[in-house]
Amino acid sequence: MFHHFLVHAAFQSSRWLPRDQRMKLPKSIRYCEKPLLNNLIASIVFSFLATGLAVALTLTDPVPKSVRAVYHTFGVLSFANGLCTIILTHSAPQCAKTTPELYLFSLVFSWACGLSTVFFVIRWFLWTSHRMHPNWFRETLF
């Protein structure tokens, strides 16, 4: 319903402006050569999948191996989507002039993908070190 609310709120708030004051630009001006819009659509699909996966993970206890496999596969695909986002955004600085909203979203999403990748790399490093040396943390503290 949240997405439905967003569409409804955007529609209703646009009606507060008089017709002659609404921003209308020719479509040829608002064109980005890079496929940032396609990447945005893929990100939206990943958001829906992430929502479903989050619900599945929170409602099952213990988590079956098949759901874990789907979770890790989703993580690899999400990493690939984030990498594509970073590459496309880096190669499309001209889109900042033609479609600034789309470029800004891609830029923010690129940073979010990079930061989340750093988070999971650190988490993987800690998990690996704990598996190799299970008592290392206790021995160094006490």
pTM of the predicted model as reported, rounded to 2 decimal places: 0.71
* Phi, psi (rounded to 5 degrees) for 35: -80, 50
Domain definitions of the chain by residue range:
34-132
Q: Is residue 135 over pLDDT 80?
A: no
Q: Tell me which H or E stretch contains 105.
A: helix 100-132
Residues 51-65, mean pLDDT to the nearest whole number: 88
pLDDT, tens digit (0-9, with 9 covering 90-100), for 80-125? 999 999 999 999 988 888 888 899 999 999 999 999 999 999 989 9
pLDDT, tens digit (0-9, with 9 covering 90-100), for 25-42? 555 556 778 888 899 999
Residues 60-65, mean pLDDT to the nearest whole number: 87
